[in-house]
Amino acid sequence: MTILSDKTLKEYLKKGKIAIEPLEDEMQIQPSSIDMRLGNEFKVFKVIRKPYIDPKDPEDVASYMESTTVEPGEAFIIHPNEFALATTNEYVKVPDDLVARVEGRSSMGRLGVTMHVTAGFIDPGFEGKITLEISNIGAMPVALYPGQRVCQIVFETMTTPSEIPYGHPSRNSKYMGQVKPESSRIKQDYELKKE
């Protein structure tokens, strides 16, 4: 795979091969990535007294999370050892012959805040806002502001376009077109549906 440079990113954005909207500032385009900004909706885990989360239970996963919206100018405070879901402010469309990865920004990492736990990979054909799995592994609470650049997206070429990209009718594309933080839809995984 080959990582796209700033020159190629600009060309692909201009042609519409890659879509990132709104891309309000060309300063978001870095030498080999595009900075992404934090949206204003978050999901956090409620404190509960159940022994475990059951991914096979259709009501279980979503019932553990609550949503919150941060007003303009306000901050979302992420405390040490806390986990939250959020999305990028930008809506992204990935073509069938590229993949993308979300990476944290060094400036956020130096505060002890990570932007993804495991879901940093974006399949060819995906479109939607990118889910951020935010964790504070530091010792102090950190204020996060909607509109703040918190991560970056890197695009890579594939050897050939995908035959069955994300979003294809035959594929179980659980998060296609998402525009807000979504709780895990693991209960839709085919191996958990088997009984």
**Residues labelled catalytic:** 133
CA distances from 179 to 39, 71, 97, 127, 131 (A): 10, 17, 23, 10, 9
| Residue 17 structure tokens | 């091969």
* Cα angle value 141/151/178 (rounded, 5°): 100
CA dist 167 and 174 (Å) reads 9
DSSP 49-87: --S---TT-TTHHHHTEEEEEPPTT--EEE-TT-EEEEE
* Cα angle value 106/139/28 (rounded, 5°): 20
| Residue 94 structure tokens | 């990935």
Helix (H, G, I), strand (E, B) or coil at 191: helix
Q: Are 116 and 135 in contact (CB under 8 A)?
A: no
Map tokens 């469309």 to a residue. 93
CA dist 195 and 56 (Å) reads 10
